[in-house]
Structures are given as C-alpha cells and as structure tokens.
C-alpha cells in the first residue's frame, strides 16, 4: 500500500514555483488529511499553496508539529525523460522519492496507524517552496511552531538512518551587476562589462569564504550579457551559503554585502531566503532520548547526529523548540538523477513515527 501511494505521489510532478502542479497535489493531501480527521486550511501564494492540518488530541496538551514539503527540484517531464519510476531489488527510484514524497507517505501512514489512539494534538505544515528556502512559508512555519511541544521533520535521514539533531544555517544571496553597454569593437572603452565585474566579484566572494572556517558556498546560477559584439550591461549570480553558526553567518554576509565594484559598475546584493543555524541543545538531546525509547517499542534502534543540509526544521530549532529531522525513509541521491529509497524503510519509519506520536 505504501509503495503504491508513493508511486501515485511521484507520478504527480511538483516542481517548485509551478503553482498549478503544486496546488493539484495539495488537493490530494488536504483531502486525505481531512479523511483522517484533520481540520485543514490552505495559505494561498502565487507560487503554490501551503497546507496546515490540525488533528485533535488530548485537551490542554501542547501539540506535536510535523514539517514537510511537497515541492521537488525536478521539472515537469523528469519522470518520463530521465528518471522513470523503477522498483527493483528492494530499491525505489524516481524524482522526489527521497526528497521528500517518501517522507509524506511515511507521515500519512503513521497518521492512519494512530487513528483512534490517544495522543497529543498534531499539527502538520506542508509547504510549497522548501527547495528554495521557504521564502513564502517562513512566517507560517514560525507561527505554527508557537506553543509546540516538539517539532519533527520528514526530510531524508542520514545514510545509516540516524535522525538529524542540528543543521547548518542556509542563506541564498543574489548578486546583480549593472554595467554599461557599448559596441565591443567600435567603442569598447565607453562600455563597462557587467560580466567582467561579476567574475571579479566571484573571486572576491571566494576570498571572503576562504577567510572563515565552517562555511560552504555554491554558485548555483550565473546569467548575463546577450551578444558577443556588445559589452554586457547586466549580469547576475545566485549563491548558496551554509554556515555552522550565526556568528560566522553575520561575518560572511557583512563582508560580501560590503564588497565594492572594481570598475564603474553598480552592485546590488540581495538575500533571497534565510534559514538560521539550528544548533545542538540539551532539549533536543532529551527529545532524541524519548524517540530512542519509543523506537525500541517497535524493535528499532535510533540514533542522531548533526547535519550540514538545511530545512524548515532550522526555524524550529533556532526558536528553541526541541526538534528532530530525518524521519523520511532511508535512501540516497537527493537532488541527483539516482535519487532512491529503500522500500522496506517506508514501513519501518511509519511504525517509528506512530510510536513517537503515542509515546510523547
């Protein structure tokens, strides 16, 4: 049943920003959560709706918050062109199986298993733009976390199945360069190449990163210019930064926003999205201990370890709410064409989540 549902979910492709595709998938989730007894509401956004589903539980107790997303990094057509659904030898392949439609199936199955059993109130937040830093969902996640007993994310776990007990911060920054166009042969000296300026600024950013420990920087996109006979008047680059701690994040961002142009160009540096570092805490250690105990009731030994990747659990951890992530199935290949999950771990994870819900 879980594999069939996962195949159904993977068959509905949901790239970030495709509101029609995302909303059609959200319709499925909303209907299913309502069938299971939730009160469901949608927060509408031009790039795709977010869902909040509230399940009743023991009166006056703080709720458990479950965080998930239904967008993927893959475009429409990826399923047919490069990553067809394939299930063989206990491994399932396909766009989004690991990040994170497998996690959605785990969560839904656990909800089925606890139906009619006593537990705390449950709140589920499923966002539509997690893969680009949840810029439209940050306020919703923050508001939904208020008063939560604990927060759990359904992102993939560590390769050995360990849960994630902290995460590096993640900030997306766009650098836009404005130069001055001119004929590249007849009047090159009157032009200011935005592309040349961008190259120099990329080198400057690398120097800033090299001067700090525990920073990752990926230049994800570059654009600019138009014709080889025109000095380019505009160029841009998007950076993805990862920071272990808030102090390093502040230092790096202050340094790069203070960069000056090398030539007569104009620079504009904009933060596109930000997830603060979620650092280890005694409260999260205590939550992990409770999950370990719950796991043993279903024959599972659960561990935990820090992670470098970022997710919406960064926000709850940063807010001081006991938080764990990585409750999705075991697999590999997030954001890669070999994306896959181990089929048997779908049921294992669902049993674990159900045990956690009823134990806390």
pLDDT at 240: 95
Whether the predicted model's global pTM rises above the 0.75 cut: yes
Q: Angle formed by the axes of helices 2-10 and 344-359, to 10°?
A: 100
Cβ pair 283, 324 in contact under 8 A: no
Which residue shows structure tokens 């400057």? 204
Burial of 226 (0-12, 13-18, 19+ CB in 10 A): exposed
- Residues 208-259 have pLDDT tens digits of 999 999 999 999 999 999 999 999 999 999 999 999 998 999 999 999 999 9
In terms of DSSP bridges, do strands 169-178 and 323-324 run parallel, antiparallel, or are they unpaired? unpaired
Q: Which domains does the chain have, with CATH numbers?
A: 2-167+277-359 (3.40.630.10), 169-274 (3.30.70.360)
Percent of the chain with pLDDT over 70: 100
Alpha helices in the chain (DSSP H): 2-10, 19-35, 78-81, 102-114, 138-145, 194-210, 246-257, 282-296, 313-318, 344-359
Is the pLDDT confidence value at 51 over 90? yes
**What residues does 269 pair with on adjacent strands?**
175
| pLDDT tens digits, 82-131 | 999 999 999 999 999 999 999 999 999 999 999 999 999 999 999 999 99
Q: What pLDDT, on the 0 to 100 scale, is given for residue 81? A: 85
| Sequential DSSP letters for 129-165 | -GGGT-TTTHHHHHHHHTT-SEEEE-S---TTS-EEE
Rounding to the nearest 10 degrees, give the CA dihedral for residues 294, 297, 303, 304.
-10
What is the per-residue pLDDT for 261? 97
Q: For residues 269 and 208, give the distance between their C-alpha atoms in angstroms, rounded to a whole number.
A: 15
Both tokens of 317, joined, read 């951890």
Is the pLDDT score of 199 beyond 90?
A: yes
What would the pLDDT profile of 154-169 be if each residue is shown by its tens digit?
Answer: 999 999 999 999 999 9
3-state secondary structure of 88: strand
**Does pLDDT of 346 surpass 90?**
yes
58: left (phi over 0), alpha (psi -120 to 50) or beta: beta
- What is the percent of the chain with per-residue pLDDT over 90, rounded to a whole number? 98
Arithmetic mean of pLDDT, 50-66? 97
Question: Quick one: DSSP state of residue 186?
Answer: T
CA distance 21 to 71: 9
């Amino acid at each position: 049943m879980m594999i069939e549902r996962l195949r159904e979910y993977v068959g509905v492709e949901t790239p970030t920003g495709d509101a029609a595709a995302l909303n059609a998938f959200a319709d499925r989730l909303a209907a299913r959560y309502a069938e299971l007894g939730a009160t469901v509401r949608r927060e509408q956004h031009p790039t795709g709706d977010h869902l909040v589903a509230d399940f009743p539980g023991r009166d006056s107790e703080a709720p458990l918050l479950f965080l998930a997303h239904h967008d993927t990094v893959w475009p429409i057509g990826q399923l047919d062109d490069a990553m067809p659904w394939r299930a063989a030898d206990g491994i399932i392949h396909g766009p989004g199986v690991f990040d994170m439609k497998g996690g959605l199936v785990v969560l839904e199955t656990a909800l089925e298993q606890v139906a009619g059993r006593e537990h705390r109130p449950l709140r589920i937040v499923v966002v539509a733009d997690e893969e680009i830093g949840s810029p439209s969902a940050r306020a919703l996640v923050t508001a939904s976390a208020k008063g939560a007993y604990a927060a759990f994310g359904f992102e993939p776990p560590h390769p050995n199945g360990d849960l994630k007990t902290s995460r590096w911060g993640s900030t997306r920054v766009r650098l836009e360069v404005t130069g001055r166009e001119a004929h590249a042969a007849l009047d090159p000296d009157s032009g200011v190449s935005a592309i040349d300026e961008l190259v120099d600024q990329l080198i400057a950013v690398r120097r800033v990163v090299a001067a700090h420990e525990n920073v990752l920087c990926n230049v994800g996109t570059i654009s600019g210019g138009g014709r080889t006979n025109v000095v380019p008047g505009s160029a841009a680059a998007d950076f993805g930064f990862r920071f272990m701690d808030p102090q390093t994040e502040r230092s790096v961002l202050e340094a790069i926003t203070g960069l000056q142009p090398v030539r007569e160009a104009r620079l504009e540096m904009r933060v596109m999205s930000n997830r603060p570092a979620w650092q280890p805490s005694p409260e999260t250690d205590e939550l992990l201990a409770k999950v370990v105990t719950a796991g043993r009731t279903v024959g599972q030994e659960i561990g935990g370890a820090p992670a470098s990747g970022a997710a919406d659990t960064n926000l709850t951890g940063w807010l001081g709410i006991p938080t764990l992530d990585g409750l999705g199935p075991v697999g590999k290949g997030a954001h890669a064409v070999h994306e896959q999950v181990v089929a048997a771990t779908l049921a294992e994870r669902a049993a674990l989540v159900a045990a956690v819900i009823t134990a806390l």
